[in-house]
């Protein structure tokens, strides 16, 4: 988060001057220096304030308060990189838990025209200090600069609810809602601005335009245009000729509107055609609107904190409490589209928005075209998804058929083997020997085990199992079965020969010599006897 320090020449010279001055003069008490620095800042003597805060930072480098004060001073001096550095360091020292440091870092990013990072910082400041109207004002301005006018209006409204109820703020909220095409809320806030300050000419002008263009209420349009003409006659005269209603000119000559008297018949007709004023809200309706405001703020905060599920829940609750806020369906649709990629739900809420906010302006037509494009995309994706699901179902069906066929084949082979299972010792030995000849060692091992099951007294089944393990280079089990054969018959010469061969391969000469010697004693005239004698002659020294 630490900004890159791009130090310009002027900045280097200014910092050098501060560092030089830092060593001048007698040392003073820290509290006195802090008070003097605060007074210099309040008096807009930012150069002296920066020097004093820098002195304090040198003495107390881990002071969050001093670094934040120095950061705000650098902002006033226009030294943005240094300001960002001080705020970042203050956040590091405080464990990123200082709302004022987040606020300052957000101001740094705002001055650097990086609205997204500014919103990120202001969002953290808001989470840490929920009752500070300045935080909501700053966050609202970041949204405003990013052209996210609905979110800007929500934060400005919250700032007003915390006490900042100026006509300028209400006019700004009205401007946000006007840019977001939320005409009723725009009019409501412009009227609050005008009620708070009857000298706000711009609020009167915007109300005249909105009542004329968005509500076709010429009585109200004339009322506010007259107020505007009284406050700013020159501008009123300049725009009077172009201030035309849909059914005819608003004024009959190019003089200021305030000087023109409408004929009684025209005025009575206009008043008769104008919609009746809205009845006052009941206590239940007021409570519902307040709850809707609360849920809108929570939804906006959830969007800022990247919590789309919470934002969906709060925006839906706001619409449920106050159906006139159907424009929030557009925000809900965006979340479904961008965060959850659920085009079906996005289309549903876009259509709810279009149904409730139907008009013929350019933005509405663009939204209609966008929903049409979104539906085409959804149908394309849904068609591809249906095709993929059918292919997946077909693949699973083929795999299941293949599995059943393989299972049937294994069952058939098992049944065939069971039908051919040898019933005598010799038959099992012969079947195992045949499996060895065809290199089917696992089958050979199974048959020799079967022979042992039939008769455990004969050594050759153990011997043959040992040979199978030798072929599988499992010498440990091979030795065990050869020795088992000798337990059944100590004079079983083939086991001695096999054990001698295995021990020789394992470089255990003495054990090999012992078994080879016993083999010659038991079978001196076999074809292997001469090979064994040659081995003993070569390895006689092993004894």
Q: Do residues 381 and 475 both lie within one domain? A: no
Give the C-alpha separation, 160 to 163, whole Å: 5
Give the C-alpha separation, 331 to 149, whole Å: 12
Which of 395, 420, 445 is the C-terminal boundary of a domain? 420
Report yes or no on 219 lying in a domain: no
201's enclosing H/E stretch is: helix 201-213
Report yes or no on 365 lying in a domain: yes
Closest CA relative to residue 466, chosen from 515, 514, 416, 419: 515
Which of 359, 390, 420 is the C-terminal boundary of a domain? 420
Q: Do residues 400 and 440 both lie within one domain? A: no
Q: Do residues 406 and 461 both lie within one domain? A: no
Q: Do residues 47 and 14 both lie within one domain? A: yes
Cα distances (Å, whole numbers) of residue 114 to 151, 257, 303, 374:
17, 44, 18, 30
CATH of the domain at 24: 1.25.40.10
Report yes or no on 380 lying in a domain: yes
HEC per residue, 314-361: HHHHHHHHCHHHCCHHHHHHHHHHHCCCCHHHHHHHHHHHHHHCCCCC
Give the C-alpha separation, 330 to 304, whole Å: 17
Report yes or no on 486 lying in a domain: yes
Report yes or no on 375 lying in a domain: yes
CB-based contact 171:178 (threshold 8 Å): no
Give the C-alpha separation, 193 to 174, whole Å: 9
Per-residue pLDDT of the chain (543 residues), as tens digits, is: 333 333 333 343 344 444 434 444 445 688 888 888 899 999 999 888 899 899 888 888 888 899 999 999 999 988 888 898 999 999 999 888 898 999 999 999 998 888 788 888 998 888 888 888 888 899 888 888 888 888 888 888 888 888 777 888 888 998 898 888 787 888 889 998 988 898 888 888 888 888 887 777 888 888 888 888 888 887 777 666 555 544 344 433 333 333 333 444 444 544 444 444 556 778 888 888 888 888 888 887 787 777 888 888 998 998 888 888 887 888 898 898 888 888 888 888 888 887 776 655 566 677 777 877 877 777 777 777 777 877 888 888 889 888 888 888 887 876 666 556 677 888 888 888 888 888 888 888 888 888 888 888 889 889 999 999 999 889 999 999 999 999 989 999 888 899 989 998 898 989 989 998 998 898 888 888 888 898 888 887 554
Cα distances (Å, whole numbers) of residue 74 to 16, 360, 372, 490:
14, 50, 51, 100
Output Rg (C-alpha) for the chain, integer angstroms. Answer: 46
Split into its structural domains, the chain has a count of: 3
Report yes or no on 382 lying in a domain: yes
Report yes or no on 394 lying in a domain: yes
Q: Which pTM does this prediction carry? A: 0.43
Residue with tokens 């609202």: 140
Report yes or no on 537 lying in a domain: yes
Q: Do residues 455 and 390 both lie within one domain? A: no
**Residue 368: domain span:** 326-420
Cα distances (Å, whole numbers) of residue 283 to 59, 296, 299:
59, 20, 24
365's enclosing H/E stretch is: helix 362-420
CB-based contact 220:207 (threshold 8 Å): yes
Neighbours of 529 (CB within 10 A): 16
Torsion of CA 391, 395, 401, 405, to 10 degrees: 150
């Amino acid at each position: 988060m630490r900004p890159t320090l791009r130090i310009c020449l002027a900045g280097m010279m200014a910092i050098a001057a501060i560092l030089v001055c830092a060593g001048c003069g007698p040392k003073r008490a820290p509290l006195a220096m802090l008070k003097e620095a605060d007074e210099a800042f309040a008096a807009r003597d930012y150069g002296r304030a920066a020097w004093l805060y820098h002195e304090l930072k040198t003495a107390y480098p881990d002071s969050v308060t001093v670094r934040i004060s120095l950061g705000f001073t650098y902002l006033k001096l226009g030294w943005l990189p240094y300001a960002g550095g001080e705020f970042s360091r203050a956040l590091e020292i405080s464990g990123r838990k200082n709302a004022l440091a987040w606020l300052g870092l957000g101001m740094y990013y705002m001055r650097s025209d990086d609205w997204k990072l500014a919103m990120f910082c202001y969002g953290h400041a808001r989470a840490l200090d929920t009752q500070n109207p300045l935080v909501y004002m700053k966050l609202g301005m970041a949204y405003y600069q990013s052209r996210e006018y609905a979110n800007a209006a929500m934060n400005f409204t919250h700032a007003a609810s915390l006490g900042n109820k100026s006509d300028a703020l209400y006019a700004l909220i009205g401007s946000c809602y006007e840019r977001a095409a939320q005409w009723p809320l725009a009019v409501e806030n412009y009227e609050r601005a005008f009620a708070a300050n009857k000298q706000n000419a711009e609020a009167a002008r915007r109300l005249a335009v909105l009542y004329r263009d968005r509500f076709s209420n010429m009585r109200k349009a004339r009322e506010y245009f007259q107020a505007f003409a009284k406050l700013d006659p020159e501008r009123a005269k300049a725009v009077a000729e172009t201030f035309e209603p849909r059914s005819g000119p608003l004024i009959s000559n190019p003089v200021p509107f305030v000087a023109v008297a409408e004929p009684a018949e025209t005025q009575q007709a206009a008043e008769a055609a104008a919609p009746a004023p809205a009845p006052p809200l009941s206590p239940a309706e007021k409570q519902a609107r307040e709850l809707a405001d609360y849920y809108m703020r929570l939804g906006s905060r959830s969007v800022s904190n990247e919590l789309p599920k919470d934002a969906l829940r709060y925006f839906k609750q706001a619409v449920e409490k106050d159906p006139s806020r159907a424009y929030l369906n557009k925000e809900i649709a965006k979340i479904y589209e961008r965060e959850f990629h659920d085009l079906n739900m996005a289309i549903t809420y876009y259509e709810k928005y279009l149904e409730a906010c139907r008009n013929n302006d350019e933005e509405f037509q663009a939204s209609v075209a966008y929903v049409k494009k979104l539906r085409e995309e959804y149908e394309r994706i849904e068609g591809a998804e249906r095709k993929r699901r059918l292919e997946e179902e077909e693949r699973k069906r083929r795999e299941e058929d293949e599995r059943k066929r393989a299972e049937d084949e294994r069952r058939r082979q098992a049944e065939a083997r069971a039908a051919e299972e040898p019933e005598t010792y010799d038959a099992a030995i012969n079947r195992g020997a045949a499996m060895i000849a065809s290199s089917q060692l696992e089958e050979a091992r199974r048959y020799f085990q079967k022979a042992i099951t039939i008769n455990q007294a004969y050594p050759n089944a153990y011997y043959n199992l040992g040979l199978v393990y030798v072929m599988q280079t499992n010498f440990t089990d091979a030795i065990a079965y050869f020795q088992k054969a000798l337990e059944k018959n100590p004079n079983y010469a083939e086991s001695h020969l096999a054990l001698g061969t295995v021990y020789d391969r394992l470089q255990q000469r003495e054990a090999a010599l012992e078994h080879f010697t016993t083999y010659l004693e038991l079978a001196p005239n076999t074809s292997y006897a001469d090979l064994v004698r040659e081995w003993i002659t070569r390895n006689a020294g092993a004894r």
